[in-house]
Amino acid sequence: MKYYILFGPPGAGKGTQATAMVEKYNLHHISTGALLRKEIAAGTELGIQAKTLIENGCLVPDEIVEGMIENEFKNVTDVDGFLLDGFPRTLAQAEALDAILANENDTVTATVSIMIPDEMIMQRIKGRALKEGRADDAKEDVINNRIVTYHNQTEPLIGYYSTAGKYHEIDGTGSIEEVRKLIFEVMDRF
């Protein structure tokens, strides 16, 4: 089984590229937000715990999200691998993912990182706000906070996966097709 992590700042095009990656390589896409909604809708024990936390305005702890991801790994069998999107976002989550996979005698196959400069993040998110009517994406202070959070909490994963020889950076500034071609060139190696 292959385990890919889709990585990059907000607005880098991860969602746009994930669909093509899933189709071409027969992967199961695990988006943490979608996974939470699915578990809550299914009424699973983890979903019930998450729903209670969300309804009380609390963040869902890593252990619950990790449990949901582990359940996906165990229960989805008709694929050649998994594409993790939105997880891991911190070093602690990366270490937890390694432990989950080690229990199955497996490891992360590769991290595919779509990188764009901060100015482009701002432009793309503002454009998305206009196109999709997402009010939260229209506020510069909110966008700046997301950029700072990415740099502080998620960017340290670059070193973590680079040290493991599993980090592959893609220039995300090109067209959708150009970026997709670069992603496929990386993934074809595995």
Does residue 188 fall inside a structural domain?
no
> Is residue 65 in a domain?
yes
Residue 9 lies in a domain: yes
Concerning whether 180 is annotated as a catalytic residue, the answer is no
Q: Is 146 a catalytic residue?
A: yes
Provide the whole-model pTM.
0.85
The answer to whether residue 137 sits within a structural domain is: yes
CATH code of residue 164:
3.40.50.300
Instruction: Report pLDDT for 90.
Output: 87
Q: Pick the catalytic residue from 74, 134, 139, 181.
A: 134
Mean pLDDT of the 104-112 span: 96
pLDDT value for 78: 94
Domain contains 118: yes
Total number of domains in the chain? 1
On whether the CB atoms of residues 96 and 88 are closer than 8 A, the answer is yes
Chain mean position to CA 157:
12
Instruction: Out of 2, 38, 126, 128, pick the active-site residue.
Output: 128
Q: Using pLDDT thresholds of 50, 70 and 90, give the confidence band for residue 46.
A: confident
Q: Among the residues of the chain, which ranges form H helices?
A: 14-25, 32-42, 45-55, 62-75, 91-103, 118-132, 140-149, 156-163, 176-187
Domain that holds residue 73: 2-182
